[in-house]
Amino acid sequence: MLHRLRTASAVILPVVVLLLGASSVLGAGVGVSPGRMEFSVRPGGMETQELYVVNQNSEAADFVVYVEGRNAGWFRITPAEFTLPGKGHRNVEIELTPSIIAYPQEYDISVCVISMPVGSDLRIAAGIKVATHVQITGLPIMAVQWWIASVAIVLIMAAGVVGFWIRKANYMQR
């Protein structure tokens, strides 16, 4: 019985290693730095960071970079799609501009980098998800400015009305 178990494990173990090795080779085709990103910005503000993308394969590959998760629309990625030669690399700009009405809180999202062989009809891809933490801080700066502008407009209008009544009263006294 023990002999059969050893024989079975001698056959199964190499197959499992080959399957796992093939998966990690596909995943190893993409390299990024940094491995984690942190953004801290006010509502309506902007913060830009760079992601260094490396084609670790010896052949050219098409790359797609996108954001996955809540409020992905706040991000602009330049370039979002590109081709890298074998062992090539490039910087990708990740720009975060949260909405002016964004509530101060924290979000966890992923910046995804996908690599596909150039010109392949079979669209097999390898990819990496870069864990990204977004912290929306403080009150929206524009909200404070709008509040100040609104108070100023009300005061100017009130002064105009008071001035009109004073002129009218002075005219009537003549």
Higher pLDDT, 8 or 147: 147
Q: What's the whole-number mean pLDDT along residues 69-84?
A: 94
Higher pLDDT, 70 or 22: 70
* Average predicted confidence (pLDDT) for the chain: 81
Q: pLDDT by residue (tens digit) across 111-144?
A: 999 999 888 777 788 899 999 999 999 865 555 5
Integer Cα distance of 102 and 93 in angstroms: 22
- Ranges of each domain in the chain: 30-149
CB proximity list for 108: less than 8 A, separation 6 or greater: 69, 131, 132, 133, 134
User: Per-residue pLDDT for 26 more than 60?
Assistant: no
Confidence of residue 103 (pLDDT cuts 50, 70, 90): confident
For residue 51, give the nearest of 129, 118, 126 by alpha carbon: 129
User: Per-residue pLDDT for 92 more than 90?
Assistant: yes
pLDDT for 147 equals: 66
CATH number of the structural domain 30-149 = 2.60.40.10
For residue 64, give the nearest of 77, 49, 47, 48 by alpha carbon: 77
pLDDT for 140 equals: 55
pTM attached to this predicted model: 0.65
User: Per-residue pLDDT for 168 more than 60?
Assistant: yes
Query: What is the DSSP code (8-state) at residue 57?
Result: S
